[in-house]
A = this chain, B = another copy of it.
């Protein structure tokens, strides 16, 4: 268990070998054992293997080639559709068309996703999360034909690794934990916490290639810009609303 967790790397190159059905089934079943709000299981997992559909998902996910390479693409969705239908067909009056219910369902979907990721890695499979899911949720809703009260929140590509990447650096543990209450960071804390990351050979190369003075600038100017974030915020909120999760409010 612990070993699998500490060995995690995101895999971005895959062999085309399919995943045996019994293994895929066990990996997905592992997802269902995650904690879920009130045992409602308000999530769904869409398993996409079809080449043409994967190509459409590849378009949505900023054309990252691993979406085409990996044999299986799993889209994890916040899903109050199934539960709401159950309520309606059981003489109950569901009230889940609101932001809290969307967020609750997103939590369920994300905990299930992490179980699936670890179970896959426990079987020697590789995985990578696609953060583009929330950016391009509208397109994914279309491709996967997601009905009202279903919103994609994350995606895993899964397959046998065709690369063996090194462990990625992390901030020192003290950088992300707080004892008793939150202790806000002063400049010295930030300097200390980010020192190792900033001193990496990889960072030096990035600065040279991107012609930047600091690593932070690569994030703010190239990777996660304010302009993109503001644009995709509007897009994502539009999808949450369009899928019916604000109707009760």
Per DSSP, chain A at the interface is helix
Q: Known A2-B30, A5-B33; judge A220-B94 contact (CB<8 A).
A: yes
Chain B residues with Cβ below 8 Å from A144 are: 178, 181-182
Contact of A190 with B8 in the complex, beta carbons under 8 Å: no
- What number of A residues sit within 8 Å (CB to CB) of B? 121
Contact of B81 with A185 in the complex, beta carbons under 8 Å: yes
Is A139 an interface position by the 8 A CB rule? no
Contact of A92 with B214 in the complex, beta carbons under 8 Å: yes
Chain B residues with Cβ below 8 Å from A184 are: 81, 147
Chain B residues with Cβ below 8 Å from A46 are: 177-178, 180-182
Q: Which of A6, A38, A94, A182 has the most chain B CB atoms closer than 10 A to its own CB?
A: A182
A115 CA to B114 CA, complexed, in Å: 8
Q: Known A6-B30, A100-B134, A180-B53; judge A89-B187 contact (CB<8 A).
A: yes
Interface string of A89-123 (1 = CB under 8 A from B): 11111111011110110110011011101110111
